[in-house]
Amino acid sequence: MYLLASTLATFCQIYFVLLIIRVLLSWFPSINWFDPPFSLLSQLTDPYLNIFRSIIPPLGGLDFSPILAIFLLQFLSGVFNTLQVSFAQGSLGF
């Protein structure tokens, strides 16, 4: 269980970095999202962001869905880190 919690916590941290890069690159309108490095980033992050885009549609041309997506990802990362520490200490009793 420790390995699973550790893997999920690491995945959340890596995915968080990918989301931040995606959000920062969205500020540059000249980026072609069909070019190879950008298309891979788009394919990795857009399915997760689309979940939140269906909840919060863009308002006035601004997309607030990444904020909610990042908050949820950070929350999950904290949960997995807590589980990881608990399993490492053996305090859950499993």
> Where residue 87 falls among pLDDT bands split at 50, 70, 90?
confident
Q: In a 3-state reduction of DSSP, which class is residue 62?
A: strand
User: Distances in Å between the alpha carbon of 3 and those of 54, 64, 83, 84?
Assistant: 33, 34, 10, 8
Which tens digits make up the pLDDT trace of 26-81? 999 899 989 988 999 999 999 999 999 999 888 888 889 999 999 999 999 999 99
